[in-house]
């Protein structure tokens, strides 16, 4: 029953996305709500979100192939597959966000390696290829054990480098004090790990329903990891915001105020903090709940919801603070606004990409041996 509902939702979301992508292709960026001041919108936030999950789930694959952690034995293939899908969803978001998507080849053939963005483009491309190759090899793990180990090591380095790199993408910009924090590249790998753990909780909670001791142990381990990473995330949040407010730099304080008390305060207090952090922490603190598949899935989903809101709360507020205060009224245009809420087309594209990623996962999960039998039902 749950599977059917998920299939239905994924198909509907994909169809909605077809309209959105059609609009994006035909009308360019004209239906988008972002402008020249809040210049990055929903798609960039979700690019950070999905690629974070990709890096996080890959790290969990290395627990199987590289570190041989018994509890994660033979879970690597599913982790790799999740990593591939989420990476694809993230990259599709950012590709559609480009003004000239057809010129993306220039980032490869005419690169500026001094640009963090170009480093990330190359990094994600290599990362994606490594996932693909490893996924292929994972169907014959005995034969390719050595290769899987070596590629895991390279991929692990890339996953951490790319997570940190995404933090650096924002952090190197001195023009945006809210982003220009030395700890940004340090924080993002933790965020990636946490979202990877949460995605695995969701997937194992929803699909791997066989009641056996191994699965319970897996859920318990993922729950503890998610819990610890959630607490670290909250500490980073506190450190960021308290330093900004105490420091008193106007652009920084304005950005924090925008997150906490601005037009979209609910995205922080309700989505990111209450639903995305406090509720899952309560669930995960309770061992009996944390190892019950539906509750584990709920906790994973809520953590991911919180991370999606957190990504938006990192990207938008920094851009909502004028570089020069008088820019607000200097020249009037709908493209020169300092507030932003995604348009219907933007939502459609994001819902569609998420739906398509979900649909691909559902089909693959049903058709491919992504989880070995001893995990699934032994």
# residues contacting other proteins (CB under 8 A): 46
Least CB distance to other proteins at residue 99 (A): 2
Closer to other proteins by Cβ: residue 75 or 252? 252
Six token digits for residue 315: 């990207």
CA–CA dist 264, 317 (Å, integer): 10
Of 2, 98, 145, 368, the one binding other proteins by CB under 8 A: 98
Contact flag: residue 215 with other proteins (CB under 8 A): no
CA–CA dist 81, 54 (Å, integer): 9
CA–CA dist 35, 45 (Å, integer): 15
Least CB distance to other proteins at residue 85 (A): 24
DSSP string, 217-276: HHHHHHHHHHHHHHHHHHHHHHHHHHHHHHH--HHHHHHHHHHHHSTTHHIIIIIIIIII
Contact flag: residue 319 with other proteins (CB under 8 A): yes
Contact flag: residue 97 with other proteins (CB under 8 A): yes
Contact flag: residue 336 with other proteins (CB under 8 A): yes
Closer to other proteins by Cβ: residue 32 or 85? 32
CA–CA dist 353, 18 (Å, integer): 9
Least CB distance to other proteins at residue 170 (A): 8
Site string for other proteins, 45-84 (x = CB under 8 A): ----------------------------------------
CA–CA dist 4, 200 (Å, integer): 20
List the interface residues with other proteins, window 108-127 (CB under 8 A).
Answer: 110-112, 114-118, 121
Taking each continuous run of H as one helix and of E as one strand, the counts in the chain are 15, 0
Site string for other proteins, 165-204 (x = CB under 8 A): ----x--xxxxx----------------------------
Q: Which own/partner pairs from 172-177 qualify as long-range (CB within 8 Å, at least 24 positions apart)? A: 172/116, 175/323, 176/251, 176/318, 176/319, 177/244, 177/249, 177/251, 177/252, 177/255
Of 9, 15, 29, 376, the one binding other proteins by CB under 8 A: 29
CA–CA dist 79, 68 (Å, integer): 14
Contact flag: residue 99 with other proteins (CB under 8 A): yes
Of 37, 58, 144, 295, the one binding other proteins by CB under 8 A: 37
Enumerate binding residues for other proteins (CB under 8 A).
Answer: 28-30, 32, 35-37, 39-40, 97-101, 103-104, 106-107, 110-112, 114-118, 121, 169, 172-176, 319, 322-324, 326-327, 329-331, 333-336
């Amino acid at each position: 029953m749950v599977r059917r509902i998920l299939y239905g939702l994924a198909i509907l979301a994909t169809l909605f996305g077809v309209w959105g992508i059609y609009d994006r292709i035909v009308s360019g960026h004209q239906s988008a709500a972002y402008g020249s001041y809040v210049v990055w919108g929903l798609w960039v936030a979700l690019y950070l979100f999905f690629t974070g999950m990709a890096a996080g789930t890959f790290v969990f694959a290395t627990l199987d192939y590289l570190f041989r952690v018994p509890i994660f034995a033979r879970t690597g293939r599913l982790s790799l597959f999740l990593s591939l899908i989420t990476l694809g969803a993230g990259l599709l978001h950012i590709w559609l966000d480009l003004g000239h998507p057809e010129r993306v080849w220039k980032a490869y053939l005419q690169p500026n390696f001094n640009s963090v963005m170009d480093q990330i483009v190359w990094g994600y491309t290599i990362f994606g290829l490594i996932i693909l190759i490893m996924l292929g090899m994972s169907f014959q793990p005995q034969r390719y054990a050595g290769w899987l180990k070596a590629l895991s090591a390279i991929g692990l380095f890339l996953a951490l480098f790319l997570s940190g790199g995404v933090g650096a993408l924002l952090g190197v910009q001195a023009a945006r004090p809210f982003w220009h924090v030395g700890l940004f590249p340090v924080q993002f790998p933790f965020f990636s790990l946490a979202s990877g753990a949460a995605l695995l909780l969701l997937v194992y909670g929803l699909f791997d329903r066989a009641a056996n001791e191994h699965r319970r142990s897996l859920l318990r381990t993922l729950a503890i990891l998610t819990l610890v990473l959630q607490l670290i995330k909250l500490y980073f949040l506190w450190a960021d915001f308290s330093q900004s407010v105490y420091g008193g730099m106007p652009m920084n304080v304005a950005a924090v105020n925008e997150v906490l008390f601005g037009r979209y305060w609910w995205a922080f207090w309700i989505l990111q903090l209450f639903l995305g952090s406090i509720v899952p922490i309560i669930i995960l603190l309770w061992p009996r709940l944390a190892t019950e598949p539906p509750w584990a899935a709920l906790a994973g989903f809520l953590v991911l919801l919180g991370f999606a809101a957190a990504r938006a709360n990192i990207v938008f507020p920094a851009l909502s603070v004028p570089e020069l205060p008088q820019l607000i009224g200097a020249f009037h245009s709908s493209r020169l606004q300092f507030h932003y809420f995604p348009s219907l087309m933007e939502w459609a594209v994001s819902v569609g990409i998420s739906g398509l990623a979900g649909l691909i996962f559902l089909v693959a999960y049903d058709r491919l041996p992504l989880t070995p039998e001893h995990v699934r039902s032994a």
